[in-house]
Copies of this chain bind each other. A is one copy, B any other.
Amino acid sequence: MTIEVDYRFPPGVDAERQAKIIAIGQTAGSWDARFSHREDVLRSHLGEVVKGITEPDGFSIATIRFPEANVENDIPSLLTMIFGKYSMAGAAKVVAVRLPENYGRHPKLGITGIRERLGVVNRPLVMAIFKPALGLSANDHAAILQEVASAGLDIIKDDEIMADLEVAPTLKRLEACCQVLDQVKQQTGRTVLYAVNVTGAAGKLIEKARLLVREGANALLLNVLTYGFSVLDALAADPEIDVPIFAHPALAGALCASPDYGMAYSVVLGTLMAHGGADAVLYPAHYGSLPFDSAEEARIRDNLRSRNVFPVPSAGIHPGIVPKALSDYGQDVILNAGTGIMDHPDGSAAGVKAFFEALERLRQGQSFNLETLPPSPLRRAFEKWGSGRV
């Protein structure tokens, strides 16, 4: 099996020449007569230029095929090969990576497994983020969780910035929140997932993840790009971590936002996460608060779903965008809101209810006009954030 990568070069770059440099320089390199006894083996490691095309806008795309035998069936060795040294060679962007089906990992749980844990099969999931991001006590977290969980929330997550701080230890936060989760389970039979942010130096991080799971964490949040794909790999491989891993895109813009350098969002947050072991991946929605391209968002969605990974369009999500999100995503999507739930004018419980009200109106084919809405959490949300028709 082979690995195919599309590199895009801006006008003025000799793409054919660059493609050859990549195919050789990022694999075996060149050799001379001293290595003639290893000729066949050396040749078997070389990359191959499959094709090159120049688009009408002057940009060129070169496709290189790499032998799978060069890498370790994981994302870090793949990245080193396809864009390690070459990333420093000038303007070039990795716009697509096509991996064999068996390359890397499949999610342990993914869309189907997360739905099973929650017992929710036929609607989008609603997810909230603890806000403010820093400065709350464990009891504050528990109080917030009490409100939103009672209102029907499916999933909550730590803010990605919330580290394991002396003033706010992760384990204490989990302990306080677990009491709420247990209570909700007892009272309603409903499971609510809490994705706890797992942090630290690699070895200790894995130990901490195991400890958190033992202590009741039923989901984990990982900042994959700041901690490393090899950390995701280790968590995904660990039999003790039998909970879904939510991948956060922190730092993705540093790799992906430039038009002519780095890698496409759909590669990093789509393909690599989907083959890297994530169960659900967060990324900006194009109608949210961050600038994002709708075509890239669609590619992320498709790359994730092709491996049963849950897409989580995020950032600036509020109840008004629900019709748009469902038209883009259908049912297999997690609607993830931070302030869009927490800052609802009537409190975070109303924030959760507004989302479910929106889902129910959509299901019943009812209108989303502010003017015709009855007084309700949804109406209050629309009054604050707009009805989001785009």
Residues of A within 8 A of B (CB): 26-32, 34-35, 38, 41-45, 69-72, 74-77, 79-81, 83-91, 94, 131-137, 140, 159-161, 163-167, 199-206, 223, 226-231, 233-234, 237-238, 248-258, 260-263, 284, 290-292, 315, 339, 343, 347
Contacts and interface: CB of A to CB of B under 8 A. Distances in A.
A83 B254 contact: yes
Nearest to A85: B250
A246 to B, nearest CB: 14
A322 B28 CA distance: 27
Number of copies: 2
Contacts of A201: 74, 230, 233-234, 237
Contacts of A248: 84
A202 B161 CA distance: 22
A260 B251 CA distance: 15
A291 B90 contact: yes
Contact of A79 (B42, B70, B226, B233): B226
B205 A29 contact: no
Given A134-B45, A135-B44, A83 B251 contact: yes
Given A88-B290, A89-B290, 15 more contacts: A31-B131, A34-B347, A35-B135, A42-B134, A45-B134, A71-B163, A76-B227, A80-B226, A80-B251, A90-B291, A201-B233, A201-B237, A203-B238, A254-B261, A261-B261
21 contacts: A26-B161, A28-B133, A28-B135, A29-B131, A30-B132, A31-B131, A71-B163, A72-B164, A80-B223, A80-B226, A84-B223, A94-B254, A200-B230, A202-B230, A202-B233, A228-B229, A231-B231, A254-B262, A254-B263, A255-B255, A257-B262
Contacts of A260: 258
A306 to B, nearest CB: 23
B38 A87 contact: no
B165 A72 contact: yes
Given A165-B70, A202-B228, A291 B29 contact: no
A75 to B, nearest CB: 8
B87 A133 contact: no
Contacts of A284: 88
A202 B315 contact: no
A86 B163 CA distance: 17
A132 to B, nearest CB: 5
A39 B71 CA distance: 51
Contacts of A261: 253-254, 257-258, 261-262
Interface centre among A43, A80, A160, A255 (most CB of B within 10 A): A80
A143 to B, nearest CB: 9
Contacts of A163: 70-72, 77, 80
A205 B230 contact: yes
Nearest to A233: B201
Nearest to A231: B202
Contacts of A87: 250-254, 257
Contacts of A204: 234
Contact of A136 (B38, B76, B164, B203): B38
B230 A70 contact: no
B160 A84 contact: yes
A88 B292 contact: yes
B27 A134 contact: yes
Contacts of A29: 131-134, 159, 339
Contacts of A34: 347
Contacts of A233: 201-202
